[in-house]
Amino acid sequence: MAHPGLGYDNRTGRGPGRVVRTMSALVPGVRRVWRQATPYADAWHARNVETIDRPGRRWIVLGDSMSQGIGASAYDLGWVVQLAGRLAADGHDLQIINLSATGACVTDVLEQQLPALERLGVRDDDLVTVMVGSNDLFGGRRRRAALPGAYSRLVESVPAGSLVATLPQPSGPARAANVFVEAADASGRIVMVDLRVTGPSSWRGRLAADYFHPNDAGYAAIAAAFEPTLRQVLAAPSRSREPPRGGDISPPPDG
């Protein structure tokens, strides 16, 4: 059951898609990894409930199964908790509120996760990270075609100063979506985490049994990809949540 302060339980309300259902029937590794979705969502929801009223700076996590830690050997061995541990060792004791959901698309962040954050109340010193889009890319032609437009809304809707990851996949829709992230970063609206540059160059030995989600080692690599930018933001003075005046996050014209 969703906590009344959240009105949200780390679920999209949809079951697995047709591809996942088919692959789960044929490939034991896919079936085994997918079975993590419910217990990991329950674990994060319980942790969120425990964390909501704690004092201290909050880390708000938005996204999909990658931020749920699906594929890791435990929910708290995904990239979020691995990186939180590294930061805590240096005195950054962040209170994690993870609003991500397995199967989430960009529209789920816009229509479910951001409203949950609004109900909690956005604080000026919140650290907000967003990594989403893979389910849009692999969710069929219509979702792929809509991805750039969804990203344009995403970078306008997240709290100012949020850290938004680029899509590292070498596809046309991903490149078009990344243009909006780049423009929003250039305007000062958000902070870009460029996984095309900092992400793993090889996934050898870093994938779970479904050969799609990272394993513990893969999530360690994602934590390393986010770490430099998170440390820069943590070292900077807290910023206002008002977007910069006169900022333009439209992509630059061609040519």
Q: How far apart are CA 20 and CA 18, in angstroms?
A: 6
Mean pLDDT of 121-135: 97
Does pLDDT of 247 surpass 60? Answer: no
pLDDT score recorded for residue 78: 99
Percent of the chain with pLDDT over 90: 78
Q: Which amino acid is at 120?
A: L
**Structural domain includes residue 130:** yes
State the chain's mean pLDDT as an integer.
90
Q: What does the block give as tokens for 132?
A: 């989403």
Does pLDDT of 68 surpass 90? Answer: yes
Mean pLDDT of 186-200: 97
Does pLDDT of 249 surpass 60? Answer: no
Q: How far apart are CA 66 and CA 98, in angstroms?
A: 11
Q: How far apart are CA 66 and CA 249, in angstroms?
A: 26
* CA nearest neighbour of 164 among 150, 149, 148, 184: 184
Band (26; pLDDT cuts 50, 70, 90): low
**Structural domain includes residue 248:** no
Q: What does the block give as tokens for 223?
A: 């934590």
Say how many residues make up the chain.
255
Band (31; pLDDT cuts 50, 70, 90): confident
Q: How far apart are CA 246 and CA 9, in angstroms?
A: 37
Beta strand 127-131 with 191-193 is: unpaired
Mean pLDDT of 49-71: 97
Band (218; pLDDT cuts 50, 70, 90): very high
Number of domains composing the chain: 1
CB 225, CB 144: distance < 8 Å: no
**Structural domain includes residue 171:** yes
pLDDT score recorded for residue 133: 97
CATH number at residue 84: 3.40.50.1110
**Structural domain includes residue 14:** no
Mean pLDDT of 74-80: 98
**Structural domain includes residue 110:** yes
pLDDT score recorded for residue 14: 85
Collapse the DSSP code of 163 into the 3-class scheme (helix H, G, I; strand E, B; otherwise coil) and give the result: strand
pLDDT score recorded for residue 45: 98
pLDDT score recorded for residue 254: 47
Mean pLDDT of 192-206: 94
Strands of 124-188 (E only): list them. Answer: 127-131, 163-165
**Structural domain includes residue 244:** no
**Structural domain includes residue 13:** no
Burial class (CB within 10 angstroms; exposed 0-12, middle 13-18, buried 19+) of 47: middle
Angular region, 206: left φ>0, alpha ψ -120 to 50, beta rest: alpha
Percent of the chain with pLDDT over 70: 86
Residues of the domain holding 100: 19-235
pLDDT score recorded for residue 240: 56
pLDDT score recorded for residue 244: 44
> What secondary structure letter does DSSP report for 110?
I
Band (225; pLDDT cuts 50, 70, 90): very high
Residue 172: which H helix or E strand, with range? helix 172-187
Q: How far apart are CA 45 and CA 10, in angstroms?
A: 6
Band (207; pLDDT cuts 50, 70, 90): very high
CB 174, CB 131: distance < 8 Å: no
**Structural domain includes residue 177:** yes
Q: What does the block give as tokens for 54?
A: 């704690």
CB 155, CB 180: distance < 8 Å: yes
